[in-house]
Amino acid sequence: SAVISQKPSRDICQRGTSLTIQCQVDSQVTMMFWYRQQPGQSLTLIATANQGSEATYESGFVIDKFPISRPNLTFSTLTVSNMSPEDSSIYLCSVRQGTNTEAFFGQGTRLTVV
């Protein structure tokens, strides 16, 4: 399985600011994803990060709020823009090598917006 490094591991941010989360994989991966997990909830897919093109967003998530970059097959960033307390959550980077394969996760970023 791939080794996935995600940072920062946690942050406390002021409302109205933005935070960029980085995800680095030790090998090339086909698919990269960004999830959000709110307290007591399961994982919600934010978007699929596409290499060299715009990310594919799920219903309820938009590029202006969650811009995503994926410049190559080993790296992606997620920015949480103009944060509000409702954005407080765990954000997880995930990778898969194929459409029927399992997913692996970074350690997550625990974000608190005050």
SS (H, E, C) 68-109: EEEEECCEEEEEECCCCHHHCEEEEEEEECCCCCCCEECCCE
Nearest CA among 113, 96, 111 for reference residue 7: 111
Q: Closest distance between another protein and the C-beta of residue 46, in Å?
A: 11
45 binds another protein per the rule CB under 8 A: yes
Residue nearer to another protein on the CB measure, 28 or 56: 56
Distance CA 12, CA 81 (A): 14
Structure tokens at 22: 């980085």
Number of residues that bind another protein (CB under 8 A): 18
Among 63, 71, 84, 102, binds another protein (CB under 8 A): 102
Among 13, 43, 50, 88, binds another protein (CB under 8 A): 43
- Interface ranges with another protein (CB under 8 A): 1, 41-43, 45, 48, 92, 99-108, 110
